Amino acid sequence: MTLLGLILLFSKSGRGVIASTTDRVIQSDDSYTAKPFLVVPCRAMDTVTEEERPGCVSLMDPNRTDWFVRHRGYYLYVEPEFKETNLPRFKLDSSFILHTESFYPGYFALRSVNYRTRYIRLLTNGYLFIDVDGLNPVKKRSFSFKLYGYDTFRTYRFFSFFFAEGCAGGPVGEYLKDVVDTFCFCVN
């Protein structure tokens, strides 16, 4: 899998996801503010199945090396890997499986690697939390996020995602060279 780059997360309500001053991952107060995260191959790649590997990601703070979004007590925080005393647990807590259109067309959901029935969810108080999937329509909305590419000009572009074998060449690679607004999860 290749390094994917900077993204912004927006909830189904259209508000951005940020890290608070206490490094808790929360919803922003408006639809204009969002913190970029660097999407990288998941920290717990050795614990997921071959089928899940293309969609296994971790979200890193691009301004702080080795600081990752992870769940602790089911809430999401941005924390440093190097201060963790239980590194295997940290790697699991900071790894998520990206699911496309699980709950709504055009939206993505992030499922916890070590709590297989739990997805990142936006709570009504603005905190991000991993919660059990349910049939409740309100819950399904709060599990759904849009992912946008982030560039240095601070503009947002919607990115579509798909999984493909060998993005560098062949029909997929030829297609991608003209499609700048698409991320491809490559399995090489």
Q: What is the pLDDT of residues 87-136, one digit of tens each?
A: 999 999 999 999 887 888 888 889 999 999 999 998 989 999 999 986 67
- Tell me the residue range of the domain where 12 lies: 5-154
Residue 40 lies in a domain: yes
pLDDT above 70: residue 182: no
> Higher confidence at residue 22 or residue 139?
22
What's the CATH code of the domain at 62? 2.80.10.50
Decide if 168 is inside a domain: no
* Residue 178 to residue 70: CA distance in whole angstroms: 35
Residue 167 lies in a domain: no
The model's pTM is 0.77
- Give domain status of residue 135, yes or no: yes
Domain-embedded: residue 87: yes
For residue 24, list its beta bridge partners: 77
Q: What is the mean pLDDT of residues 42-69?
A: 94
Q: Is the pLDDT of residue 66 over 70?
A: yes
DSSP letter for 82, please: G
Establish if 11 belongs to a structural domain.
yes
Angle at the Cα of 87 from the Cα atoms of 85 and 89, rounded to 5 degrees: 105
Name the residue among 109, 113, 94, 86 with its Cα closest to residue 25.
94
- What mean pLDDT is reported for the chain? 78
- Residue (of 152, 151, 154, 153) closest to 181 by Cα position: 151
Within 73-178, strands assigned E span 75-80, 96-100, 108-112, 118-122, 128-132, 145-150, 156-158, 160-165
Number of structural domains, the chain? 1
Over 60: is that where the pLDDT of 185 sits?
no
